[in-house]
Structure 1
Amino acid sequence: MKRLAATSPLFLLAFLGFETWAHGSESLDAYLREALESNPQLAADFEMVSAARQMGDQVGVLPDPKLSYTEFVSTVETRNGPQERAVSLTQAFPWPGKLTLRRSIADERAKEAFYRYEALQRKIVLEVGLTYFEYAFLGEATEVTSKNLKLLEQLVPVVDTKVRAGGDLGASLRLEVETTRVEDELQALHEKRAALSSRFESLLGREPNLERPLDFPDLPQDTPGIASIESLERGIEGHPLVVAAETGLLSAELAERLSRKSALPDINLGANVIDIGDGGDTAVGLMVGVSIPLFFDKYRAEREEKEALARSARMTVDSVEQQLISDLHAAVQEWREAEKRLELYEEKLLPSSEQAVELTEESYRNDKASVTDLIDAERTLLELQLMNQRALAKIHMAALKVRTLSEPLSVSDR
């Protein structure tokens, strides 16, 4: 078997390019390293790969020879003297090709286990990465909401001054209601932080702590790009789940070939030595034997089983490819939609909303706008800022999905 080295977390992350997302107090790369190094299921799968690699050396060799010794209780008299004891040695030889096929099947199954191990690595990378960006967005949402609350609080003395000067008392009440509403939103974000931080720590292999949530990472402000859909679809061919399915197909086809040889006899070769007492000559004999495949229904059932498994494996390859392509198309569409929204917010809606807030503030100071107008303008700006950050988080999430789906194997044994 061509040896496969286990993919180290460092190599996998460098290969997939996650070091480019190094932002915040702890980068995504650092979190991914920690998750890959501490995940118990990944460690268990690694041991399964190590175990599978040993099977080829077990099934691909001849069975142990058999040595037998006979001491005659009652001697058999011959003309050369009494037979006192006998020693025989036999070795079974499977039909030519059986051992090679058995070893090849075991080696292919070990490769399949390895590729599934690498697929699990990518699943962990995806789960941690998506949670990372969701948590980073939560930090941005908390910051934006906090700023909005401070702006509302800064309006309180201005509104109170106008009320004392004979202005509308309703303006003060509306401001109080809006301030309370934003305070409630901020409290909800803090509560969500504790729950999301707990999930994030669990993915990292840490003990979750509701009382001391993780620091918010910075949401990267750059927008990651993706390749053309044609190039990405070609990359699906190198996805570890596809390669694992193809390797499973190869092992199933080899097993089908082996089943056709099951009815072929195994050969036994041996020799025996008989010790003749009273100075007689020692008798030496050679033995040849074959197994007799009598139970034809058994061998027919075995062939049909392996043929069905091979057909199933072929369909599995197609099914896995189709599912991954479907997932890829969905991720690409998510990326495109998020990019359009991001462009719309940053180039049109946010600048217009910021200008509207400035004009409304000026009008309010000159008694040309009500506090309701000002609150509505601030609320609209807040919502657009949050939607902008959500679109930014979505585009990073979509790019992460695309990358984990379309990058080729980090190591290859094909």
Structure 2
Amino acid sequence: MKRTIRFKYVCLSVMLLAANANHLRAQDSLAVYVEQAVKNNPKVRADFAAYQASLQRIAPAGSLPDPEFGFSFYLKSMEQVNGKQIGTLDLMQMFPWFGTLKAAKAEMLWMANASYEKFRVSSLDVIYNVQAQWYLLNSIQAKLTNIRENIKLLKSLEEIALYRYKSPGIKGKSSGSSSYSSGSSAVSSTSQAMQATQGGSGMSGMGGASSGSVSSSLATPSSQSASMEGAMPSSSMSGSSVGMSDVLRIQIERAELENTLETTQSQFTTVMAAFNALLGRASATSTFVPDTLLIKPFIANNDVAWQRVVEQNPMLSMWKAESSSYEAKGEMVKKMGYPMVGIGLEYMINKKKPEDMNSMNSMNGMDMIMPMVKLTLPIYRKKYKAQLKDSKLMKQSAELEYQNTRNELQASFVAINLRIADASRKIALYAKQHKMAQTTFELMLREFTTSSASLTDVLQVQRDLLNYSLKQVEAVVEYNIAVAEFEKIIAKDDLIINKK
């Protein structure tokens, strides 16, 4: 007895560790796929390259204009009092009005920030798309497992129908016990298939009920058949016979499920190709998809979450940065409307001329240096006024885009929360309906074995059981995708993105 308990404890521990490992593997693999998609996606890489290019525009915008250097010479020396002038060298540096370069640099810095926020937008889009495709793959995998187990269930049901078809009119105690015992073994196998269907759907954390064992109530043929024989008339024991048409109906039902299985398998291949395309891999690349469909954890305070949307959403940050860049541009244009100051030197190269009475001996042939100051005269004001008005209008446009984006995000925020709540209700509802349909199916199997229920009722409940299982899977996928979209607008996965 102790060995049995110890063995069961060890088996339970191994099952729990395996389930936990499967959960961790599923989460780790999704994180790996997300990171791979962000690194390989061409749109993300293009936006990151554009951001890096925008960083290179900051330094030139805050730099002085290049100095001007000039050289001139005379083909024939020009005689002056102090000698013969043969050429001049001049150097000039222009200086914009105070604050112009600072404003220009600020404009480029804000434009770089806007470019980075655009890169964040594309990155978060890819992260969301990968997660959505991943959950869709999970759901299709769970559907495939569910359908396969239901096909096994129909095969077991077909065995029961064939047994009843071959033994239509057995009466008497011994024959009744034998008949019931054989029927019990068939129902037991059907019950096991049904339990596999429940467990094979792989929806951990969905509130699905664990199936009870029909075989526990039908596994004592001698005592139970004797009690039923005393409690039921002989006509009830013999029951109505099952025709070959019932067996054919089960086979038709199974053929339909097999066709659904093939269709779902094709859908899985298509979604897998789309998933690999997001990761930048070949469409035929194999991907680990766990059998379990886990509910994505979601605990959010709406007030705090909305505040995070306002502060960290990349679209809002992008419009803020653009608005600030146009404000800096307006300041730069305003400063450009003031004169630019140039400071320079001119160096005159002179050659000595012959000595005579009129030459100044002390300065004959002496080179001359002349300081220079230069001013620009911005008298054509229309271009500056137009540029200033342009920057004001673009700033206004960015502010309106910010407000519009915020309104759209607020509407999406409310809609996503409603979708999450609705999906949660559906998950609970389908779990309850699945549990009730499963209990009904167990009773129907028992009644079908004792000829108290028709095959039509059994097949209908079996369809309901499959339908609730598939609806439960769809509700979990809807829930997970809504949570992923919620995390996208609050920029939850920004840790994956960096400026390196």
In the superposition, relative to structure 1, how do residues 351 and 321 fare at CA in structure 2: closer, same or farther (>3 Å)? same
Aligned match for 2:444, one of 360, 367, 372: 360
- Which position in structure 2 is the counterpart of 1:402? 486
Gaps of 5+ in 2: 1-21, 169-240, 353-363
In the superposition, relative to structure 1, how do residues 79 and 25 fare at CA in structure 2: closer, same or farther (>3 Å)? closer
Secondary structure in structure 1 of the residue aligned to 2:26: coil
Residues paired across the two proteins, number: 391
Q: CA deviation at 1:295?
A: 2.7
CA contact 1:105–1:251 (8 Å) conserved in 2: yes
- Which position in structure 1 is the counterpart of 2:137? 135
In the superposition, relative to structure 1, how do residues 394 and 21 fare at CA in structure 2: closer, same or farther (>3 Å)? farther
Aligned match for 1:206, one of 262, 270, 281: 281
- Which position in structure 1 is the counterpart of 2:309? 236
Q: Equivalent residues in 2 for 1:160-175 (5 A)?
A: 160-164=162-166, 165=168, 166-175=241-250
Secondary structure in structure 2 of the residue aligned to 1:284: strand
In the superposition, relative to structure 1, how do residues 22 and 246 fare at CA in structure 2: closer, same or farther (>3 Å)? farther
- Which position in structure 2 is the counterpart of 1:293? 378
Q: Equivalent residues in 2 for 1:372-411 (5 A)?
A: 372-407=456-491, 410=495
Tell me the distance in 2 between the aligned counterparts of 1:136 and 1:400: 15
Q: CA deviation at 1:197?
A: 0.6
Are 2:86 and 1:84 equivalent residues in the alignment? yes
CA contact 2:96–2:341 (8 Å) conserved in 1: yes
- Which position in structure 2 is the counterpart of 1:7? none
Q: CA deviation at 1:183?
A: 1.2
Tell me the distance in 2 between the aligned counterparts of 1:27 and 1:391: 23
- Which position in structure 2 is the counterpart of 1:276? 350
| 288-297 vs 47-56, which moves further | 288-297
Tell me the distance in 2 between the aligned counterparts of 1:51 and 1:223: 38
Q: CA deviation at 1:25?
A: 9.4
Q: Which one has a bigger Cα radius of gyration?
A: 2
Secondary structure in structure 2 of the residue aligned to 1:27: helix
Gaps of 5+ in 1: 1-19
- Which position in structure 1 is the counterpart of 2:148? 146
CA contact 1:21–1:220 (8 Å) conserved in 2: no
1:391 is matched by which residue type in structure 2? A
- Which position in structure 2 is the counterpart of 1:17? none
Secondary structure in structure 2 of the residue aligned to 1:293: coil
| 25-34 vs 308-317, which moves further | 25-34
Aligned match for 2:421, one of 316, 336, 339: 336
Tell me the distance in 2 between the aligned counterparts of 1:331 and 1:138: 23
CA contact 1:274–1:282 (8 Å) conserved in 2: yes
Aligned match for 2:289, one of 196, 212, 216: 216
| 130-139 vs 289-298, which moves further | 289-298
- Which position in structure 1 is the counterpart of 2:71? 69
In the superposition, relative to structure 1, how do residues 223 and 309 fare at CA in structure 2: closer, same or farther (>3 Å)? closer
CA contact 1:90–1:269 (8 Å) conserved in 2: yes
RMSD: 2.1
TM-score w.r.t. the length of structure 1 is 0.89
- Which position in structure 2 is the counterpart of 1:126? 128
In the superposition, relative to structure 1, how do residues 136 and 124 fare at CA in structure 2: closer, same or farther (>3 Å)? same
Secondary structure in structure 2 of the residue aligned to 1:272: strand
Are 2:453 and 1:369 equivalent residues in the alignment? yes
Are 2:47 and 1:58 equivalent residues in the alignment? no
Q: CA deviation at 1:251?
A: 0.4
1:196 is matched by which residue type in structure 2? V
Tell me the distance in 2 between the aligned counterparts of 1:136 and 1:215: 10
Aligned match for 1:258, one of 316, 323, 332: 332
Tell me the distance in 2 between the aligned counterparts of 1:30 and 1:412: 16
Aligned match for 2:399, one of 314, 319, 325: 314
Tell me the distance in 2 between the aligned counterparts of 1:125 and 1:223: 15
Q: % of aligned pairs identical?
A: 21
Tell me the distance in 2 between the aligned counterparts of 1:179 and 1:240: 51
- Which position in structure 2 is the counterpart of 1:15? none
1:31 is matched by which residue type in structure 2? Y
CA contact 1:27–1:217 (8 Å) conserved in 2: no
CA displacement 1:352-401 (0-9 Å, x = unmatched) = 11100000000000001111111111110111111112212222211111
CA contact 1:135–1:217 (8 Å) conserved in 2: no
CA contact 1:23–1:218 (8 Å) conserved in 2: no
- Which position in structure 2 is the counterpart of 1:108? 110
- Which position in structure 1 is the counterpart of 2:100? 98
Secondary structure in structure 2 of the residue aligned to 1:24: helix
